[in-house]
Amino acid sequence: MFLILSGFRETEAKLLEWQHVSLANKTFKALDTKNRSDHTLPMSDYLSSIFERRFKAKTDSPLVFPNKDGGPLKDMRAWYNHVSAASGVEFTLHDLRRTFATVAESLDISHYALKRLVNHKTDRSDVTDGYLQIGAERLRKPMQAITDRLLDLAKITKP
């Protein structure tokens, strides 16, 4: 659920630490991502409930989603193979990120906001992007809209 509702890459989720989560500000941040930049996003209501639930179950691990020994999750193929078998839908964890982006685009979220949501770098020839300052608060409404649409499609009631 976290991956499809955040648009995070698998590694970003596996390495997400509590020190980079603000329940008060409802934001979370991946450090030194694939494109070598930090990436801060706002929490939608449903993501906030996931973080709050994880915080209540918190262990000594600094990770939000630790494995049983407190370290980062390892190979998750067994998990998503199980989900694929149960649902009849073959997918990879990166497909969850693609779904996030596809739903965002279907909601007419601006190209620039979408690029910020998925932390894609802009082509150097895109001068306009260099002018835009799109922070986490600017992304809160699009993030909520994406979550609402995904939950609606999955027929999941909000927390």
What's the confidence (pLDDT) of residue 38?
83
Measure the CA angle with vertex 66, ends 56 and 147; round to 5°.
Answer: 65
Model pTM score: 0.88
Which residue in this structure is represented by tokens 């979550």?
Answer: 147
Q: Which of 79, 60, 56, 65 is nearest to 8 (CA)?
A: 65
pLDDT at 145: 97
3 state DSSP class of 135: coil
Looking at residue 22, the DSSP 8-state letter turns out to be: E
114: part of which helix (H) or strand (E)?
helix 111-117
Q: What is the pLDDT of residue 150?
A: 97
What gap in Å lies between CA 56 and CA 53, rounded to an integer?
5
- How confident is the model at residue 127, as a pLDDT? 52
pLDDT on residue 122: 65
Helix (H, G, I), strand (E, B) or coil at 72: strand
Q: Which amino acid is present at 153?
A: L
Angstrom distance (rounded) from CA 41 to CA 137: 8
Exposure pattern of 67-86 as b/e (b: 16+ CB <10 Å)? eeeeeebeeeeeebeeeeee
Q: What is the mean pLDDT of each run of 10 residues along the chain (159 residues)?
A: 95 96 96 84 96 93 93 87 91 93 95 84 59 70 96 88
For 2-154, CATH number out of 1.20.1260.10, 1.10.443.10, 1.10.510.10, 3.90.1150.10 equals 1.10.443.10
φ/ψ of residue 30, rounded to 5: -100, 135
| Helix 93-106, helix 136-154: angle, nearest 10 | 100
